[in-house]
A = this chain, B = another copy of it.
């Protein structure tokens, strides 16, 4: 299912411009290398347009945003749009402060995103800033469960319609949707929530996957989500076998991604088309 997707990444080594938070930036750089891409971090307003121009894709993560970097995000995103490069948004903490919410809304207004990835709470905040009135959608639950799955998928599709972006909602159950189709992914592991950065890493991987597979953006996004989840499962096995803890889980995820062949990914992906 994902054989070509993976091959395209490893053949083309997509260079991803990351404007990302300083908490998980090292893991983001290393996971990009592990999956077959290449990272370049640059957040100074004076160089972001030029840097994004030499890249294949851009990822904007607002995790430790500040006045200075907000301007750079905007500028880089607009330039990437101009060049038709894929742009992926990770609205970390949108809803937690006015500044994060406002920045998310502002970015949505000026930049056309290819993919938006967040947890359900962040994605709900994105929804509020996506240009129409609230409506019933704001009642969507705070967790995607088997019970509210259909409703959550419909929500993701509507948001995709509004924004033009693929929506990736990650949690215990993941949803990847455009305005027509959706995938439900059930890979991953509860222990991953005890590790900082799995979301940020996934967002950057999506940029690499989509950058190398521009004709199959939805599938490429789903592939990245499956790979991160499956890597978490494989890493968890090692943690249990060796009686280790969360730090071992963290680095083993990157180990597993660096080793993962298409056959493993295809066999381990718990994905369902909806």
Contact = CB atoms under 8 A, between A and B. Distances in A.
Interface stretch (A143-151, A177-185, A252-260): A252-260
A122 interface: no
Given A23-B41, A24-B26, A26-B23, A246 B254 contact: yes
A27 interface: yes
Contacts of A43: 64, 66
Contact-residue size bin, chain A (C-beta under 8 Å from the other chain)? 35 or more
A50 B96 CA distance: 8
Interface string A29-72: 11001100001111110110011001000000001111110000
Given A29-B23, A46-B67, A63-B41, A255 B248 contact: yes
Contacts of A253: 247
Contact of A30 (B39, B51, B247, B255): B247
A246 B251 CA distance: 9
30 contacts: A22-B22, A22-B25, A22-B41, A30-B195, A30-B196, A30-B246, A30-B247, A33-B194, A33-B195, A33-B246, A34-B194, A34-B245, A39-B196, A41-B63, A41-B64, A42-B64, A43-B64, A44-B64, A47-B97, A47-B98, A47-B100, A51-B96, A51-B97, A54-B96, A66-B68, A245-B254, A245-B258, A246-B254, A247-B254, A251-B251
Q: Which 8 A-B pairs have the closest CB atoms?
A: A245-B255, A245-B258, A247-B254, A29-B196, A247-B251, A47-B97, A47-B99, A246-B258
